[in-house]
């Protein structure tokens, strides 16, 4: 089943039918999430209205981790089975993951300034997320550093797989070290510790981010496949016939008269 879906022609047909519904769903869910976050969710008793940054920051952090996992899995499939669609998926997902990570870092700094009194603190989670951002940039740079696309893809895939070790460091950094970040309050064994009035907008925003990522990934993959197809057609096109030199014209005319 997965092999059939991984066929580029089938992927183009299926993705063409999914892009618009996913885009509409992403817009609707994000609009609902933002409305609930900005106008319904109450201010925090300690953080005040600053807590509203959480509804952008936390889903961006989740997506930064999820997208890197997608890049790593797709890179592994591309290395082992050499499937071009997996290679394209990894390469087109990486810039999106870098964007989510940048949003996470920027909004975290905006929240940290009034709460911690500083734009940046080198605690374990902030530093490991910054490393994640550099891993994204390194992957993108490696893929595009070689004239041979195959070599670039293989080098980037190896880096993506090695960088997976950073994901559990980000996840468990608040448990392993004494950091400014609070411990897990949503995905924990005893259940969420956030009030439902804040939890639901947060989860809806997370779903909106996920739908947005899926939409943009499909659009980028379709564009990359069309670009590769156009390049292949250019290379396969027959060369234009070169007209005979002028000196050969009289001989050709005499031959035609015989």
Strand partners, 48: 44
pLDDT at 3: 58
pLDDT at 178: 78
Number of other CB atoms surrounding residue 20 within 10 Å: 10
Of residues 141, 136, 144, the one with CA closest to residue 160: 136
C-alpha 203/C-alpha 187 separation (Å) is 11
pLDDT at 253: 41
Of residues 6, 29, 18, 19, the one with CA closest to residue 208: 29
pLDDT at 255: 46
Residue that is written with structure tokens 């201010």 in the block: 43
115-126: burial string, b at 16+ Cβ within 10 Å, e else: eeeeeebebbbb
C-alpha 123/C-alpha 178 separation (Å) is 8
Of residues 201, 181, 211, the one with CA closest to residue 56: 201
Number of other CB atoms surrounding residue 49 within 10 Å: 10
Domain boundaries, the chain: 18-172+189-257
- CA 204 vs CA 34, 36, 37, 74: distances in Å: 9, 9, 9, 27
pLDDT at 228: 86
SS3 48: strand
pLDDT at 249: 47
Task: Determine the distance from the C-alpha atom of residue 174 to the mean position of all C-alpha atoms in its chain, rounded to a whole number.
Answer: 25
pLDDT at 5: 61
pTM (predicted TM-score): 0.87
Q: What is the full per-residue pLDDT of the chain (258 aa) written as tens digits?
A: 455 666 888 999 999 999 999 999 999 999 999 999 999 999 887 788 888 999 999 999 999 999 999 999 999 999 998 888 999 999 999 999 999 999 999 999 999 888 888 888 888 999 999 999 999 999 999 999 998 889 999 999 999 999 999 999 999 888 888 777 777 777 766 677 788 889 999 999 999 999 999 999 999 999 999 998 888 888 887 655 444 555 444 444 444 434
pLDDT at 2: 52
C-alpha 239/C-alpha 150 separation (Å) is 26
C-alpha 224/C-alpha 216 separation (Å) is 12
């Amino acid at each position: 089943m997965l092999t059939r879906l991984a066929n580029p022609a089938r992927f183009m047909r299926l993705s063409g039918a999914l892009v618009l519904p996913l885009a509409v769903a992403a817009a609707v869910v994000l609009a609902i999430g933002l409305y609930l976050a900005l106008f319904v969710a109450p201010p925090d008793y300690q953080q005040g209205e600053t807590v509203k940054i959480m509804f952008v920051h936390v889903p961006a952090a989740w997506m930064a981790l999820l997208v890197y996992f997608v890049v790593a899995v797709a890179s592994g499939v591309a290395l082992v089975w050499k499937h071009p669609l997996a290679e394209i998926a990894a390469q087109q997902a990486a810039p999106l993951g870098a964007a989510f990570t940048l949003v996470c870092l920027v909004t975290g700094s905006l929240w940290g300034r009034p709460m911690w009194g500083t734009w940046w603190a080198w605690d374990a989670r902030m530093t490991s997320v910054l490393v994640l951002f550099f891993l994204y940039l390194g992957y993108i740079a490696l893929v595009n550093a070689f004239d041979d696309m195959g070599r670039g893809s293989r080098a980037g895939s190896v880096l993506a797989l090695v960088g997976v070790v950073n994901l559990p460091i980000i996840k468990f950094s608040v448990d392993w070290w004494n950091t400014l970040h609070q411990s897990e309050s949503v995905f924990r064994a005893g259940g969420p510790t956030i009030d439902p009035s804040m939890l639901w907008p947060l989860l809806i925003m997370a779903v909106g981010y996920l739908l947005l990522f899926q939409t943009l990934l499909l659009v980028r993959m379709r564009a990359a496949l069309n670009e590769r197809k156009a390049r292949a057609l250019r290379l396969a096109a027959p060369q234009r016939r070169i007209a005979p030199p002028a000196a050969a014209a009289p001989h050709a005319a005499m031959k035609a008269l015989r």
